[in-house]
């Protein structure tokens, strides 16, 4: 089995040790409900035709329509899509959103396509999966290398197929096409609300609160911005081209401006900032490390270098199971992805609710609702962690598993049927 998926399933097995769950429930959660593989045939600008492998997986829909992004990436594959759909199932259950988990991908380097080719590919994806997605069935969203404009094309294509405007089929749309306020920084903001709520429990109040952020894209920039504004000191940042550190603290807006001009955070050289290797970045003494890049970035060979006390996982799956054990032994508290980055899907949920009710909330309402959910579920996971003496990750999975289990068991399991 693929390493990524077996790593994800190992976390389910671990969580199952701590909750009362029927073996039927675990059996059901070990396999995806439905996966469709297709090839998208797209006319290129030069008149030729190319075909791209594409997938959509609906992992489990016991708690509601499946929800999860669409990724356009040259190394996408069906195992990765399945694992991401599994994570979404648990993420939606942690947050008590009325959704199951899904995911989709196209194996393509979108940067090699013209804008018109990208639009034709996006519309071809919806034509191929129109029978699978739908506002009450499966609701995609953006993921790596897909964006609001692509979501807008996809909603438009789906609306043409069903012959009525259907904005609730997809979230992460541009604002004028039914997008939600607050979606752009929702992932980072959710992580920020979680960290703030647990500050005292994590021993973060009254310390220097130094932060290192790995990955300076959407999630990375916004978390650096929010923490900096709250008085945290950003002492290290990186992107795919390099890393910088500065003990005196970095201004996220100034670094972003330098990155826009120079193509990388390493273009920022003010105030004592200096370029370092990615390994040195991870080894920078800090209170909070925020992985906000891609999967598997912290593994058994570099986990031992980490000097953070707390890790806030904004990326999906940034820590391998091996590395997780190393960090746990070292006493590092990991606020896990399925909780810490769930602000994104939560505001996606708000977008879907607003589309369906045809009534839109202001930014303050979005932030208040997001904060309430992050605090409620974050506190429940924290209490389970302390009550059972387990890691935050296992507690988050166990918390989600309790919800999934009670939903699956509500249809009856063997003990019910044999009396």
Residues taking part in catalysis: 103
Element (H, E) at 256: helix 252-262
Q: What is the signed CA dihedral for 73, 79, 84, 88, rounded to 10 degrees? A: 140
Choice between 149 and 294, CB closer to ligand NAD:
294
Three-class SS of residue 142? Answer: strand
What is the Cα 208 distance to its own chain's centre? 28
CA-to-CA distance for 10 and 111, rounded, in angstroms? 35
Spatial CA neighbour of 158 closest among 149, 168, 148, 147: 168
Secondary structure string (H, E, C) spanning 58-73:
EEECCCCCEECCEEEE
Choice between 210 and 259, CB closer to ligand NAD:
259
Three-class SS of residue 283? Answer: coil
Give the footprint of ligand NAD on this chain (CB under 6 A).
Answer: 144, 187, 214-220, 238-240, 278, 292-294, 297, 314-316, 341, 344
Who's near 48: CB < 8 A, 6+ residues apart?
none
Choice between 135 and 217, CB closer to ligand NAD:
217
Who's near 51: CB < 8 A, 6+ residues apart?
39, 40, 41, 42
Helices (H), 321-391: 321-329, 337-340, 343-357, 363-388
What single-letter DSSP state applies at residue 319?
B
Who's near 182: CB < 8 A, 6+ residues apart?
189, 347, 350, 363, 366, 367, 370
- Smallest gap, in angstroms, from Cβ of residue 315 to ligand NAD? 3
- Smallest gap, in angstroms, from Cβ of residue 412 to ligand NAD? 34
Choice between 224 and 398, CB closer to ligand NAD:
224
- Smallest gap, in angstroms, from Cβ of residue 219 to ligand NAD? 4
- Smallest gap, in angstroms, from Cβ of residue 389 to ligand NAD? 28
- Smallest gap, in angstroms, from Cβ of residue 4 to ligand NAD? 12
Closest residue to ligand NAD using C-beta atoms: 217
- Smallest gap, in angstroms, from Cβ of residue 294 to ligand NAD? 5
CA-to-CA distance for 92 and 66, rounded, in angstroms? 9
Choice between 156 and 239, CB closer to ligand NAD:
239
Spatial CA neighbour of 256 closest among 197, 319, 185: 185
Choice between 40 and 293, CB closer to ligand NAD:
293
């Amino acid at each position: 089995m693929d390493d990524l998926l077996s790593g994800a399933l190992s976390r389910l097995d671990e969580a199952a040790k701590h909750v009362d769950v029927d073996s039927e429930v675990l059996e059901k959660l070990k396999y995806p409900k439905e996966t469709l593989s297709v090839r998208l045939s797209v006319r290129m600008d030069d008149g030729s035709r190319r075909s791209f492998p594409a997938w959509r997986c609906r992992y489990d829909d016991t708690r509601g329509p499946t929800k999860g992004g669409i990724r356009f990436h040259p190394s996408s594959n069906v195992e990765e899509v399945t694992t991401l759909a599994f994570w979404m199932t648990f993420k939606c259950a942690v947050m008590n959103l009325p959704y199951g988990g899904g995911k989709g991908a196209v194996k393509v380097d979108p940067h090699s396509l013209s804008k018109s080719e990208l639009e034709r590919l996006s519309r071809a994806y919806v034509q191929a999966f129109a029978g699978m997605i739908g506002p009450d069935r499966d609701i995609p969203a953006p993921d790596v290398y897909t964006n609001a404009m692509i979501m807008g094309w996809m909603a438009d294509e789906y609306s043409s197929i069903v012959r009525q405007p259907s904005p609730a089929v997809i979230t992460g749309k541009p604002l004028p096409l039914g997008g939600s306020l607050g979606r752009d920084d929702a992932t980072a903001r959710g992580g920020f609300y979680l960290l703030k709520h647990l500050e005292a429990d994590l021993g973060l109040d009254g310390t220097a609160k130094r932060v290192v952020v790995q990955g300076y894209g959407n999630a990375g920039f916004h978390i650096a911005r929010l923490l900096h504004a709250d008085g945290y000191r950003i002492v290290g940042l990186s992107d795919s081209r390099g890393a910088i550190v500065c003990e005196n603290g970095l201004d996220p807006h100034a670094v972003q401006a330098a990155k826009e001009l120079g193509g990388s955070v390493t273009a920022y050289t003010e105030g004592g900032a200096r370029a370092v290797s990615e390994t040195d970045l991870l080894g920078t003494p800090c209170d909070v490390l925020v992985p906000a890049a891609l999967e598997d970035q912290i593994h058994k060979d570099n986990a031992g270098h980490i000097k953070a006390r707390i890790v806030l996982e904004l990326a999906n799956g940034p820590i391998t199971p091996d590395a997780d054990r190393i960090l746990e032994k070292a006493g590092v508290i990991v606020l896990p992805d399925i909780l810490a980055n769930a602000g994104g899907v939560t505001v996606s949920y708000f977008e879907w609710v607003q589309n369906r009710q045809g009534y839109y909330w202001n930014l303050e309402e979005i932030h208040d609702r997001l904060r309430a959910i992050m605090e409620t579920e974050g506190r429940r996971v924290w209490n389970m962690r302390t009550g059972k003496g387990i890691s935050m990750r296992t507690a988050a999975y166990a918390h989600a598993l309790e919800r999934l289990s009670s939903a699956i068991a509500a249809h009856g399991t063997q003990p019910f049927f044999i009396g």
